[in-house]
Copies of this chain bind each other. A is one copy, B any other.
């Protein structure tokens, strides 16, 4: 296609605000819109071709009608949903990027996107690993796992670590980091997660919390004195109109437990330090990373809804284009 050409732009559009569980019909795929493959006058952003998109549970939060405490904006009906992805720069007015560069960051669930906030994008320098990894192990979930384990949980060799939602994008990495450090690790996944707590007769030093609600309550009861809970996500709660309450905070006091919420965005300044650690792990095969790859934007609604019933095996990604 020629530069500046007007082309069809297949998109995954948001239908309307969601209560409870997401349904496939909360999104719809449209080929109605077109886009000119050149940045419009006055834009200071970048125009990208999206290659891989990331289906993450937190997108559901953006489907809820709420001001989210001013922290982020929810989706607009009939506009494309957004999330993390890998893309190729087609046109740039930002001095950090030039045509042909590969980047990862927040983009649209569509074939082509104009990204206004280009400063939030990360340039991809290492392409000897699969590009999709930059939506996962080398992207937001990777930094999340790294920050939540090494920085938030202050782990020590020999400690006991429990990871919930351990087959997800973040959980599978935390478990491997913990093993590399010499910890005793149990991961749990699916509906019988609480049963895994029986593997900790002496209690849990570190709980990497992805689930929330009853799972968190059960873990608190099994924590050791001075245990640490890294609050990363609460996937069991996102589909509830009102979250379950966590009732047993008294043991948090009695056992001197630290519960620390954290946002990956606070750790992004450490990205190059993170890559220096992670890339060798990947190249040397010390870390195994599993992806569940869906082909084509059309697969987005089913893939996204499947996250909440545990259909995915490994990190759920959508390949938009293999070029």
Contacts and interface: CB of A to CB of B under 8 A. Distances in A.
A237 interface: yes
B253 A261 contact: yes
B244 A231 contact: no
A202 to B, nearest CB: 12
A77 interface: no
A255 interface: yes
Contacts of A243: 247-250
9 contacts: A71-B254, A231-B249, A243-B250, A253-B263, A254-B261, A255-B263, A258-B259, A258-B260, A258-B261
Given A69-B221, A245-B244, A246-B246, A262 B256 contact: yes
A266 B261 contact: no
Contacts of A156: none
Contacts of A237: 249-250
A251 interface: yes
Max chain B C-beta neighbours (<10 A), residue from A232, A242, A259: A259
A68 B232 contact: no
Given A71-B254, A252-B259, A263-B254, A244 B247 contact: yes
A143 to B, nearest CB: 14
A47 to B, nearest CB: 30
A68 B254 CA distance: 9
A231 B261 CA distance: 15
A165 interface: no
A234 interface: yes
Contact of A256 (B69, B221, B263): B263
A233 interface: yes
A221 B253 CA distance: 21
B249 A234 contact: yes
A37 to B, nearest CB: 36
Nearest to A221: B69
A171 interface: no
A103 B260 CA distance: 38
Contacts of A252: 231, 259, 261
Contacts of A216: 249
A102 interface: no
Given A221-B69, A259-B259, A259-B260, A247 B254 contact: no
A262 B266 contact: no
Nearest to A265: B256
A212 interface: yes
B266 A256 contact: yes
Name the 5 nearest CB pairs between A and B, nearest first. Answer: A245-B245, A252-B261, A253-B261, A259-B259, A245-B247
Nearest to A68: B254
A257 interface: yes
A250 B263 contact: no
